[in-house]
Structure 1
Amino acid sequence: MIYRPIYVDKIMTYVNAPFIKILTGIRRCGKSTILKMLIDEMKKKGIRENQILHYSFDSLEYEDIKTAKALFSHLKQHLSSEGKTYLFLDEIQEVKSWEKVVNSLMTDYDVDIYVTGSNSRMMSSEISTYLTGRYIAFRIYPLSFSEYMIFRKEYAEVLDLHAELANYVRLGGFPAAHLQKYTPDEVYTIVKDIYNSTIFTDIVRRNQIRKVDQLERIVKFAFDNVGRTFSAASISKYLKSENRSIDNETVYNYLSKLENAYILYRCGRFDIQGKEILKTQEKFYLADTALRYSVLGYSPDSVAAMLENVVYLELLRRGYKVYVGKVDNAEIDFIAVKQGNKLYIQVAQEIGSPETERREYGRLLDIRDNYPKYVLRTDVFAGGNYEGIKTMHIADFLLNDEY
Structure 2
Amino acid sequence: MIDRPQYLRRLDAWKDRDVVKVITGVRRCGKSTLMLLWKQRLIERYGVAPESIVHINLELLDNEPFLEYHRLYEEILRRCAAGEGRRYVLIDEIQNVPDFQKTLDSLQARGGIDLYVTGSNATLLSGTLATLISGRFVEISMTPLSFAEYWSARAHEGMTMQRAWSEYLHDGALPATVGFAGDETMLHDYLDGILNTVLFKDVAARLNISNIAALETVTRYLFDNVGNLVNPKAIADAMTSMGTKISSPTVSNYLEGLAAAFIFYPVRRYDVKGKRALRLERKYYAVDLGMRRMLCSNRVRDTGRLLENVVFLELMRREGDVFVGQGAGGEIDFVTNGTDGPRYYQVSESVHDPNTLERELSSLRAVRDNYPKTLITLDDERPVSHEGIRQVYALDWLLGEGEERKA
The TM-score, its normalising length taken from structure 1, stands at: 0.94
2:59 aligns with 58
2:74 aligns with 73
* 2:158 partner SS: coil
Q: Give CA-to-partner distance per residue, 1:163-201, whole Å, 9 cap, x none.
A: 322222222211000135333453333222211111111
* 1:123 partner SS: helix
* 2:173 partner SS: coil
Pairwise CA distance, 1:232: 0.8
1:260 aligns with 260
1:4-23 map, 5 Å? 4-23=4-23
Q: Does 1:342 align with 2:338?
A: no
1:328-339 map, 5 Å? 328=328, 330-339=330-339
2:119 aligns with 117
Q: Residues 183 and 303 from structure 1, CA distance in 2 versus in 1: closer, same or farther, beyond 3 angstroms?
A: farther
Counterpart Cα distance in 2 of 1:383 and 1:125 = 43
Contact 2:86 2:113 in 1 (8 A): yes
Counterpart Cα distance in 1 of 2:382 and 2:319 = 31
Counterpart Cα distance in 1 of 2:372 and 2:136 = 36
Contact 1:51 1:80 in 2 (8 A): no
1:102-113 map, 5 Å? 102-113=104-115
Pairwise CA distance, 1:335: 0.9
Counterpart Cα distance in 2 of 1:46 and 1:272 = 48
1:152 aligns with 154
2:269 aligns with 269
Structure 2 stretches lacking a partner, 5+ long = none
Counterpart Cα distance in 1 of 2:125 and 2:204 = 18
Structure 1 stretches lacking a partner, 5+ long = none
Counterpart Cα distance in 2 of 1:114 and 1:62 = 17
Counterpart Cα distance in 2 of 1:96 and 1:246 = 32
1:307 aligns with 307
Counterpart Cα distance in 2 of 1:214 and 1:84 = 50
Indicate the larger mover: 391-400 or 255-264: 391-400
Counterpart Cα distance in 2 of 1:108 and 1:380 = 56
* 1:239 partner SS: helix
1:211 aligns with 211
Q: Which amino acid aligns with 1:80?
A: A
Counterpart Cα distance in 1 of 2:356 and 2:123 = 45
Q: Does 1:361 align with 2:364?
A: no
Q: Which amino acid aligns with 1:135?
A: F
Q: Give CA-to-partner distance per residue, 1:192-216, whole Å, 9 cap, x none.
A: 2211111111111222210111111
1:293 aligns with 293
Q: Does 1:226 align with 2:226?
A: yes
Q: Does 1:47 align with 2:48?
A: yes
Counterpart Cα distance in 2 of 1:300 and 1:265 = 19
- How many positions carry a matched residue from both structures? 401
Counterpart Cα distance in 1 of 2:223 and 2:169 = 14
For residue 83 of structure 1, the aligned residue among 74, 82, 85 is: 85
Indicate the larger mover: 251-260 or 320-329: 320-329
Superposition RMSD in Å: 1.9
Q: Give CA-to-partner distance per residue, 1:44-98, whole Å, 9 cap, x none.
A: 2221121111111111101122111111222222213422221111111111111
Pairwise CA distance, 1:235: 0.2
Contact 1:188 1:293 in 2 (8 A): no
Q: Percent identity at matched positions?
A: 31
* 2:336 partner SS: strand
Q: Residues 228 and 94 from structure 1, CA distance in 2 versus in 1: closer, same or farther, beyond 3 angstroms?
A: same
1:124-203 map, 5 Å? 124-154=126-156, 156-159=157-160, 161-179=161-179, 181-203=181-203
Pairwise CA distance, 1:391: 1.2
Pairwise CA distance, 1:109: 4.7
The TM-score, its normalising length taken from structure 2, stands at: 0.93
Indicate the larger mover: 34-43 or 380-389: 380-389
Counterpart Cα distance in 1 of 2:264 and 2:226 = 10
Counterpart Cα distance in 2 of 1:78 and 1:274 = 54
Pairwise CA distance, 1:383: 6.7
* 1:233 partner SS: helix
1:327 aligns with 327
Contact 1:105 1:111 in 2 (8 A): yes
Q: Residues 95 and 174 from structure 1, CA distance in 2 versus in 1: closer, same or farther, beyond 3 angstroms?
A: same
Q: Residues 289 and 135 from structure 1, CA distance in 2 versus in 1: closer, same or farther, beyond 3 angstroms?
A: same
1:36 aligns with 36
Indicate the larger mover: 328-337 or 37-46: 328-337
Pairwise CA distance, 1:308: 0.2
Q: Residues 326 and 182 from structure 1, CA distance in 2 versus in 1: closer, same or farther, beyond 3 angstroms?
A: same
Indicate the larger mover: 88-97 or 76-85: 76-85
